[in-house]
Amino acid sequence: MSTITESVNVTVPIRVAYDQWARFEEFPRFMAGVEEIRQVDDTTLHWTVRVAGVTRRFEARITERLPDERVAWTSTEGPAHAGVVTFHRLDDDTTRVTAQMEFAPDGFVEKAGDRAGALHRRVKADLRRFKTFVEARGGRTGGARGGAGRPGS
């Protein structure tokens, strides 16, 4: 398993940053390679991604959702991966968004890309695009707040 940790400071209140991140269907607007995310129910996300010319579909389960604090997930099928995104209030109008992910590269191309740092660069670039996206929208997110704690508990 490989681990990636990247952060970005966004100039929006913590609630705005969290609410925008919780709008999973909008990930293709700032995440490279993400073609579609469909939220099946409160805890299940169906992803379609394109990496190195290969389209993959998989499901992930939201394992924890604490509004304005964190969202965690794990894959339930397809490539093995898990992660958490945390939100830290720096001041009234600035939030640090930190993404930590673990994944198991599959196949020669993914393993070579992992060794070359391609996924680290992609996550860093995705967070920069998230910053641009959420700051341009300001306070207009309309994101799902989600229930506190672990889904299904």
For residue range 11-49, what is the model confidence (pLDDT) as tens digits? 999 999 999 999 999 999 999 989 999 999 999 999 998
Q: Tell me the backbone φ, ψ of residue 28, rounded to 5 degrees.
A: -60, -20
pTM recorded for the entire structure: 0.84
* pLDDT tier, 53 (very low <50, low <70, confident <90, very high otherwise): confident
**pLDDT of 103 over the 70 cut:** yes
* pLDDT tier, 9 (very low <50, low <70, confident <90, very high otherwise): very high
Q: Tell me the backbone φ, ψ of residue 65, rounded to 5 degrees.
A: -145, 105
Tokens 């997930």 locate to 73
What is the pLDDT of the chain when averaged over all its residues?
Answer: 85
CA atoms within 13 A on the CB side of 34: 19
How many whole angstroms separate alpha carbon 24 and alpha carbon 81?
A: 17
Write the pLDDT tens digit of every residue in 108-124: 556 566 566 567 788 89
C-alpha 86: how far from chain center: 10
